[in-house]
Structure 1
Amino acid sequence: MEIDLDIDIESTVMQLKEKEQKLYNFLIALKLIQKHVQDVPQFQRGEALPPTIHAKRLDSMPLHEALRVSIEPQKVFEYPHNIPKRFAGLIQLEANEKEYEQAQALTHQINELRATIVNYIAEKETDYRKRARLSQRLFPDTLYQTVNRKIPLLPDTSTRIDFSWCEQQKSVKKLSTEQAVSMLQRFDANTPPWQAAKNMERLMNSASAYKVTNVRTHPQAIVKYYNEETGEVFIETRKVHSPMIALVQSQRPIDVNPLPDFQENDKKHLLLKGYKPIVEGTCLYCKDSPT
């Protein structure tokens, strides 16, 4: 049975798409000062992170595509893994104070509309599976997890941006058999049947299964800007999912330190003491039997 949709929410979705297009049209008409884009690799759910992650530079990405990535939610099956994709970088455009205020107002409206839609869907349907069907009706060609992303517009007095990796310490979480089986099946979706069967046998022979979520690794940006009236300098940390957008009056390029390679540290090894992987390359672990 389909859920009845309010006319207002369908209208809100249309408004959102119109505002996104309006912001894109506004920004693409401005003069480009500099553009730096890096492709942050995707990893499947349940896949263990490699010791080194390299964010490849995408100098060939045209401005119109970079702006679309920063403004619009992600399309379904747009990338090899159908999960939220991240890019790092900066799009710097020349704009006067009035133009910045116009872009800021549009950005605020888009962010508010997105929050309204996400809240509506969450309140309309509490069941996760039914909620997924509802979100697909409103956004049939969109990866819904990216709908609530905020437009990454920087303050117009930004002078420097440094990209780095954020590591949030987590823990080892015990899984039920059903959760572990589901996770392994997703990981083995493209694995040869004989190997998938062998992996499942290892899981079934383990006394218990744990999901290692010790480090949540994602890119972040450290933005430096100032108050024009007081001269006070501010430092702000932002999560990164797409190229940051900077509209400034000066034609001088903002200082940019690109996202470096991620190097695994010793935290993981300390956390995993006493555990061993059930299947190599996944985040499924079991307790290491004492010898």
Structure 2
Amino acid sequence: MLQRTLKQPITATGVGLHSGERVKLTLLPAPPDTGIVFRRTDLPEAVDVKVHPALVNDTRLSSTLVTDAGVRVGTIEHLMSAFAGLGLDNLIVEVTAAEIPIMDGSAAPFIFLLQSAGIVEQPVPKAFIRVLKPVEVVEGDKWVRLVPHEGFKVTLSIEFNHPAFNLAPQTVEIDFAQRSYIDEIARARTFGFMHEVEYMRKNGLGLGGSLDNAIVIDDEYVLNPEGLRFPDEFVRHKILDAIGDLYVVGHPLIAAFSGHKSGHALNNKLLRELLARPDCYEVVRFADPDEAPSSFHRLPVAA
């Protein structure tokens, strides 16, 4: 199974969810074994930041890379989730601000951009991280876990005592050997409560948020006129976030991930715990694509 990158560059513009700044995003092909590299082109000298769990140093409401020099690239999780969903290994992501544009609050616009640019295979085998032993992080009533599984499966549960959440199950399991990321997960939008939006804006966050890029909930109802895209869109978005957070490790995981009330901070702690225990994982490649787990055979076909 081979590495993947884009066929050609592609550009989009949008606003940062928290900064409210207008942002230009350019996605560029990259050579094999480059990984995912974010490039801040708005600085006096462009700075490259390669994704790694150790650089996720701000997890307030999003996953943000912060270098030792203080260079930030924020709200990367939806874009990273799209990369994972399409099996992309090598990309340069140029951005003209400290935050990735929020688009419509899901990964679907990024999927559209990436597929419009075209996906090509590269003549180097793709590397996977296979989990060999269970790894878990627990904080109070919240927990996340990776266990051995010959494929990729995600099971997440959330817990909100609210009328809008009680209309659908708050637990979802997606086995990507049978179900499609694009169909089941990519369109699920980020969400927040009206009182949280007001608090964030008072504290200089959420300045770019609107009903066009987030589900907003008051004391009883979803305020978006179009309603939800899935009855259980809230927990599906948590899966979207988790997939993006996990892809910061740099390779697809051959594992089952599960969690309860998880978030960006806990997801990142799980990756750090995994990497700190070399006996719990191995890096594998598949010279014969048929030997790779069936979860990864469902990736959209490259050019």
TM over 0.5: no
> Considering only CA atoms, is the larger Rg found in Structure 1 or Structure 2?
1
Aligning the two structures, in what range does the TM-score lie when normalised by the shorter sequence?
Answer: under 0.3
Q: TM-score, normalised by structure 2?
A: 0.25
Relative to the length of structure 1, the TM-score reads 0.26
